[in-house]
Structure 1
Amino acid sequence: MRALKAVVFVVLLAIGCGRAAAQGGGAAGAIAEFPDFRRIVQEAKERVFPAVVYIRVVSENTESGKRELMESSGSGVIVSDEGHVLTNWHVVEKAQRVRCLLSDGRHAEADVLGTDKDTDLAVIKLKMGEGFGAIPTAELGDSEILREGDFVMSMGAPWGLDRSVAIGIVSSTKRYLDGVSEYSLWIQTDAAINPGNSGGPLVNTAGEIVGINTRGSAGSADGLGFSVPTSTVRVVMPQLMEAGRVTWSWTGLQLQALSDFNRDMYFPYEDGVIVAETDPESPAREAGFLARDRIVKIGGESVTAARVNDLPRIRKMLGLLTKGEAAEVEVVRGGERVVLSLVPREKGEVEGRELALKRWDFTVKSINQFENPDLYFYRKEGVFVFGVKWPGNAATAGLARGDILLKIDGEDVGSIEDVRGLHEKLVADVEAKHRVVLSVMRRGLLRQVVLDYRRDHEKE
């Protein structure tokens, strides 16, 4: 594919040179009319590349059934003189320590200022002591003016190889990825985005950041890379810098486009967006929305999702509604227009808290309606088994990942704090007591699990 692009470019350049020579009298005329592409790329690169940082992260992981510290790497780009660095949420997720290597060899620790899982964006800040000196920065550009076929550069630290740059074109400016396009479409590019590139900038030929690299095709030559557009970054970044998170509003509306080719579903309308369903106990259900309602206006603004690509824009519009304030939503129901009053609530956390239980050899996590909707169906509040250590006491007892904890030693548990308190009390004197009954729910069925924790697998 890259060879083909090179051939096409050379052919086009030759054609251009021929025309210029005929009109301007030789090579000088060609150069005047067709600027050197390499110079354009180099100048654009130099505006951003010095601001790219290599990030090393020590993070906490409990998925194996015990607390582990793991080291990983990623990329970022400095966007302010104060040391604010844009990167991905998944690069600094559960970070215990963050270190950054700058282009000139200087290095600094960094604090995580804010993260947003929904858009996979994060802002960290360099700890620049006295005498650290000036730092290079890069500017945000306008992703809305990108067009398919535009040349772009992917910058970052692929596979932990410090900084590098790859060039390609914009394959799509509005790529919808099912399940990961809640509030934003993606910029698709064939510029290489490998593991380690995450958090690095996607740069246009004007030397501006137009996206934050997030996803790629690891271990393949598919030429599929995806970046969060700066149109989304501009909405999210200020909130991360000021509040540490994005306070999205939640309505509980599940939306469907008028036309979905992949699912072979079509509605015979020219405007609006279909309500597929409403979440239980949600603001949408309280407001009286029904499945198959067609929303045509939100807060007086007309909305249409002709295709799935249009859904993130409408979801973002709903997510930015003021929490606790009624918004008028006009729907068409049975041929008649109805105005409903929708009062959104704050979305809150989108993932649960975790806790490792030593000696019991498993970890738990709080149930979250956005992260664990299948478990939330059975229990609105509570904790579930997140990881089971092998070999370990929980594995021997038959405890399984996804089990919902209902009782420990006959006492109800509904939070991480409940589990922490009971665990600390019960393991305080193993000689006096080393067996406990756990009441769990597994796929809707109740079970009693006898956990014997007399063995200390950590010491064996």
Structure 2
Amino acid sequence: MGLLGTRARSGRKAVAAGLLALFWLGSASAQAQQPTPEDLRLVPDSAAQIKLSFAPLVKQVAPAVVNVYASRKVVQRQQVSPFFDDPFFRRFFGQPNGGFGQPRERVESSLGSGVIISADGTVITNHHVIKGADEVRVALNDRREFDADIVLMDEQTDLAVLKIREGGPFEHVEFADADLLEVGDIVLAIGNPFGVGQTVTQGIVSALARTQVGVTDYQFFIQTDAAINPGNSGGALIDMTGKLVGINTAIFSRSGGSNGIGFAIPAHMARYVARAADQGGKVQRPWLGATVQLVGAEIAEALSLDRPKGVLVTAVFDGSPAHEADLRVSDLVVAIDGKEVIDPNAFGYRFATKMIGESAEFTVLRSGREETVSISLQPAPETIPRDTRELLEFSPFEGATVMNLSPAVAQELGLDGLPEGVIIAEVRRGGQADRVGLRPGDIVRGINNQAISSTRMLETITKTPPRIWRLDIERDGKVSQIVLR
């Protein structure tokens, strides 16, 4: 408090924008209208203004933040001593029918948070909070509890949408425009950390567009120092107007507790998934049909740029939306619909949050000139049936489930470009494929110098195995050869 007083006495230099928000939230006029950006730049000039509280804002938003309880039944088979195979021992211990080896059910539960985003009881939370759940219940801050149905689960974004079965109308929050956030803005995190009950923590936006988090396929997060702990997942990150700017998702911690580095999925992505739930319960992402790469210092210098920016188009596939729009190799995409693109992660986020059936305007630098390319937003086509097959014959692929590759499959699996070959979707534990070291996501490019073009072709080869297997396997964009006898 002494520091704030010193600053005020020394000429009212810049004070945290959150204190300005406190002034407006606590004043009578703020209850009639929200503060404008000009109002938020004013500096509080009295001790009374500085002491004002976040309480009015919390009272407004807290009823829309819920606790999410997810449970699932897991069947476990007890380990049985070989002695119990003997009928005498089974009778002696009162288990005449081998009851010692019978499966038993137990219930696993997980706890997280969620946010009501509409009056009909639509709730958005994290995918990992309800993954595998058989039953889901939500509890409001007034202690009422309701059963909820799972409407949509999207692992790629780590988001899920629930629907409260009965009751309502419910208090809810509106989405904010997360693009208006700036580093230093005050935010509140509301959730249920460690299951202790609804908790509010306060902090600032520490960084925007964080990309090295690794919890979703779309690396574009809001970083905040508001305390986020286990159980906060799926909860609300709100701004000083009471709108939802993000869904709290992850923390950076070596101890498991909050170290002041938390991450939230931006509201744009949450709204995109919520809209997909309203339009049939399936997330359909637009397909570009091109690959891009990061622009580093060397490429920026070669392109005569004053600094690295945008993404460089490295390939365009025939018949794709990018090809139809005349996007070209070596084009530098610097913005999508006027929003700056700084790297491939930002590019992927900006493009993935566009809705099917609309269009996106790419700002590109081509031969030193700025041009606009309009991309039609279409779903990725399944140009070849995926023809999923589990390989059962004894071979290096025994126990692997494989699929044909198409733009739709490549997009679902998060692959860059459109690789050739057959992709391994699953590997059964203990099978030959597992023992050989094959993994889900590996692409079978060839066997004994013969290109593999379909799952049927691969299955046929496993039924007439050669003496020596020379496998060309692509993993993480690199092709390696494995030789097996």
2:410 aligns with one of 365, 369, 384: 369
The residue that corresponds to 2:15 in the other structure is: none
Given that 2:115 and 2:123 are in contact with CA atoms closer than 8 Å, whether structure 1 keeps it comes out as yes
Structure 1 distance, partners of 2:433, 2:271, is: 50
Over 3 Å counting, the alpha-carbon distance change for 1:232 and 1:50 in structure 2 is same
1-structure distance, mates of 2:420, 2:436: 18
Task: Identify the residue that residue 246 of structure 2 maps to in structure 1.
Answer: 211
| Structure-2 change in CA distance of 1:348 and 1:49 (3 Å) | farther
Query: 1: distance between equivalents of 2:266 and 2:370?
Result: 35
Identity %, equivalent residues: 26
**How far apart, CA to CA, are the structure 2 residues paired with 1:53 and 1:365?**
40
Q: Distance in 2 between matches of 1:179 and 1:347?
A: 24
Q: Are 1:291 and 2:329 an aligned pair?
A: yes
AA at the equivalent of 1:51 = A
Corresponding residue to 2:427 among 367, 381, 386: 386
Match of residue 163 from structure 1: 198
Change over 3 Å in CA distance of 1:60–1:211 after alignment to 2? farther
- Contact 1:190–1:223 (8 Å) recurs in 2: yes
* Alignment match of 1:55 (pick from 68, 73, 81): 68
- Whether 1:311 and 2:311 are equivalent positions in the alignment is no
Is 1:11 aligned to 2:24, yes or no? no
| Post-superposition offset of 1:103 | 1.8
Which of 125, 147, 154 in structure 2 is aligned with 1:87? 125
Q: CA deviation at 1:355?
A: 11
Distance in 1 of aligned mates of 2:116 and 2:222: 21
Alignment of 1:209-288 (within 5 A): 209-218=244-253, 219=256, 222-256=259-293, 258=295, 260=296, 266=301, 267-269=303-305, 273-278=310-315, 283=320, 286-287=323-324
Deviates more, 1:106-115 or 1:283-292: 283-292
Normalising by structure 2, report the TM-score: 0.61
Q: Give the drift of 1:225.
A: 1.0
Give per-residue Cα distances to partners, 1:216-263, cap 9 Å, x unaligned: 1142654211112224433442232232133221012223455x46x8
Q: Deviations over 1:122-165 (max 9, x none)?
A: 2211111xxx4654333333433333222222121223444322
The alignment status of 1:127 with 2:145, answered yes or no, reads no
Alpha-carbon contact 1:257-1:305 (below 8 Å) kept: no
Deviation, 1:342, is 5.8
Structure 1 residue 201, shift from structure 2 partner = 0.1
Q: How many angstroms apart in 1 are the aligned matches of 2:379 and 2:433? A: 41
Task: Kindly state the Cα deviation for residue 171 of structure 1 after the two structures are TM-superposed.
Answer: 0.7
Match of 1:427 in 2: none
1:105 counterpart residue number: 143
Q: How does 1:150-189 map to 2 (within 5 A)?
A: 150-177=185-212, 185-189=220-224
The yes-or-no answer on 1:76 pairing with 2:114 is yes
Q: Quick one: distance in 1 between partners of 2:455 and 2:187?
A: 50
Paired residue secondary structure (1:171): strand
In structure 2, the CA distance between the partners of 1:341 and 1:16, relative to structure 1 (3 Å rule), is closer
> By how many angstroms is 1:374 displaced?
8.9
**Which whole-Å deviations, capped at 9, do the CAs of 1:311-346 have from their partners, x for residues lacking one?**
3565347x44638x9x89786655689998866541
Gaps of 5+ in 1: 1-8, 21-29, 62-67, 407-411, 420-435, 450-460
The answer as to whether partners of 2:250 and 2:263 remain within 8 angstroms in 1 is: yes
Deviates more, 1:68-77 or 1:161-170: 68-77
Which of 46, 51, 58 lines up with 1:45 in the alignment? Answer: 58
Match of 2:134 in 1: 96
Q: 2:67 corresponds to which letter in structure 1?
A: Y
AA in 1 matched with 2:275 = P
Shift of residue 295, structure 1, vs aligned partner:
4.6
The CA deviation at 1:353 is 12
CA distance in 1, matches of 2:262, 2:184: 14
Partners in 1 of 2:269 and 2:242 — Cα distance? 19
Q: Distance in 1 between matches of 2:212 and 2:128?
A: 17
CA deviation profile, 1:157-180 (whole Å, cap 9, x unmatched): 223444322221111244344777
Q: Indicate the SS of the match to 1:197.
A: coil
Q: Is the 8 A contact 1:54 1:102 kept in 2?
A: yes
1:25 corresponds to which residue?
A: none
Structure 1 position 208, deviation (Å): 2.8
Q: In the TM superposition, what whole-angstrom CA distance separates every residue of 1:418-438 from its partner, at most 9, and x where no partner exists?
A: x9xxxxxxxxxxxxxxxx979
How many residue pairs were aligned? 385
Q: Report the Cα offset of residue 387 of structure 1.
A: 4.2
Partners in 2 of 1:304 and 1:321 — Cα distance? Answer: 21
Aligned match of 2:379: 346
Which residue of structure 2 lines up, in the alignment, with residue 6 of structure 1?
none
Q: Distance in 1 between matches of 2:171 and 2:119?
A: 8
Q: Gaps (5+ residues) in structure 2?
A: 13-42, 75-105, 445-452, 474-480
- Tell me if structure 2 keeps the 8 A contact 1:115–1:123: yes
- Provide closer, same or farther for how the CA distance between residues 47 and 39 of structure 1 changes in structure 2, counting only shifts above 3 A: farther
Describe the shift of the 1:221–1:10 C-alpha distance in structure 2 as closer, same or farther (beyond 3 A): farther
Contact persistence 2:427–2:433 (CA under 8 A): no
Distance in structure 2 (CA, Å) of the matches to 1:375 and 1:402: 20
